[in-house]
């Protein structure tokens, strides 16, 4: 398959299928030197991923428009399932406009719209981009997302940036849903242990390949095999050696091969483990793209 201008070449295909458990197919990617950014059409994105044995994806919403798009896309493509939510950075502005409750009610409706909606996320807390004045709204939004996930028996997908203690505190207070995924895990080995103790799956992105991310590699080493997931967070967090270029599901093999070496698995063993874990994490298998 030929490379689209501006995108890295596809890596060698994986020996067994895996799932990109967190991507944003609707997000306009960025690339230095490419005016206006890039966007891979859904069919092409899924075909390019399937060609390297990334045969299923979880499309994640971050606002109402994106969540509706995720639901519609999952309904149209059997190899895609949807996650719906308001990103924590959306909550303060919605609260200030008096629109947070109505937006959360719409997320609740979308979460109940069918089996192709498997998760509520990405929700959580983000103290990197939102200051102290926005934390109350983030906390309220996160709590309601936890309740929505539990109400509809959906997987909770958590965004946690610089807010580890408060994320765990709210989870403990609300009660951890049966299936919880720590999206783009960003902590150290101790946080990994605490999340696993609460029954969470830890999803590793291309960041685990970065030179300055030894904390993530230590976290991966202590994560039980049955709790490991992989994701792109595409178009962001592109793995080495393509850091700084746009990311897409077809680059997952780079991250998986790196993770296998750190975690002490063969590549095939880790692929099979991730695939099985994803089925459990998202409430059962769904169709593959072939």
> Which segments within 27-176 are labelled E, that is strand?
54-60, 80-84, 117-126, 155-161
Q: How much is the pLDDT for 67?
A: 98
Mean pLDDT along residues 75-93: 98
Q: What is the mean pLDDT of the chain?
A: 95
Known binding-site positions for a divalent metal cation = 22, 24, 122, 159, 183, 233
Query: Domain map of the chain by residue range?
Result: 18-281
CATH number of 18-281: 3.20.20.140
Give the CA-trace dihedral at 235, 239, 245, 251, to 10 degrees.
Answer: -60
Percentage of the residues of the chain whose pLDDT score is greater than 70: 95
Q: What is the pLDDT of residues 201-211, one digit of tens each?
A: 999 999 999 99
Known binding-site positions = 22, 24, 122, 159, 183, 233
Residue-wise over 197-223: b if at least 16 C-beta within 10 A, else e? Answer: eeebbbbbbbbbbeeebebbbbbbeeb
Structure tokens at 8: 């890295």
CA dist 273 and 140 (Å) reads 35
Of residues 239, 246, 236, 284, the one with CA closest to residue 262: 239
The angle formed by the CA atoms of residues 84, 183 and 256, to the nearest 5 degrees, is 120
Structure tokens at 140: 């309220």
The model's confidence at residue 3, banded by pLDDT at 50, 70 and 90, is very low
- Write down the pTM of the prediction: 0.95
CA dist 184 and 154 (Å) reads 19
Q: How much is the pLDDT for 285?
A: 98
30-34, 60-64, 94-98: segment of lowest average pLDDT: 30-34
pLDDT greater than 50 at residue 1: no
Task: Please give the DSSP secondary-structure letter assigned to residue 92.
Answer: H
Mean pLDDT along residues 148-157: 98
pLDDT greater than 60 at residue 60: yes
- Contact by Cβ (8 Å): 15, 256: no
């Amino acid at each position: 398959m030929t490379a689209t201008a501006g995108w890295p070449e596809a890596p060698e295909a994986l020996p067994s299928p895996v799932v990109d458990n967190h991507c944003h197919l609707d997000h306009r990617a960025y690339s230095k030197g490419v005016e206006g950014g890039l966007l891979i059409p859904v069919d092409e994105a899924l075909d390019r991923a399937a060609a390297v044995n990334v045969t299923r994806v979880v499309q994640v919403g971050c606002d109402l428009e994106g969540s509706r798009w995720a639901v519609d896309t999952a309904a149209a493509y059997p190899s895609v399932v949807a996650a719906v939510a308001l990103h924590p950075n959306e909550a303060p502005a919605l609260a200030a406009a008096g629109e947070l409750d109505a937006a959360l009610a719409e997320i609740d409706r979308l979460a109940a719209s069918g089996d192709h909606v498997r998760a509520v996320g990405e929700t959580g807390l983000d103290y990197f981009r939102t200051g102290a004045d926005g934390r109350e709204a983030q906390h309220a939004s996160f709590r309601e997302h936890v309740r929505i996930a539990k109400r509809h028996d959906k997987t909770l997908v958590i965004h946690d940036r610089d807010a580890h203690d408060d994320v765990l505190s709210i989870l403990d207070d609300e009660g951890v849903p049966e299936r919880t995924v720590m999206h783009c895990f960003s902590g150290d080995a101790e946080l990994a242990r605490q999340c696993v103790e609460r029954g969470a799956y830890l999803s590793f992105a291309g960041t685990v390949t970065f030179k300055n991310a030894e904390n993530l590699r230590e976290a991966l080493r202590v994560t039980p095999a049955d709790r490991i997931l992989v994701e792109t967070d595409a178009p962001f967090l592109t793995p080495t050696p393509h850091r700084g270029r746009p990311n897409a599901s077809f680059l997952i093999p780079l991250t998986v091969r790196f993770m296998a070496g750190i975690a002490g698995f063969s590549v095939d063993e880790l692929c099979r483990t991730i695939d099985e874990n994803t089925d459990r994490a998202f409430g059962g298998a769904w169709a593959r793209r072939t």
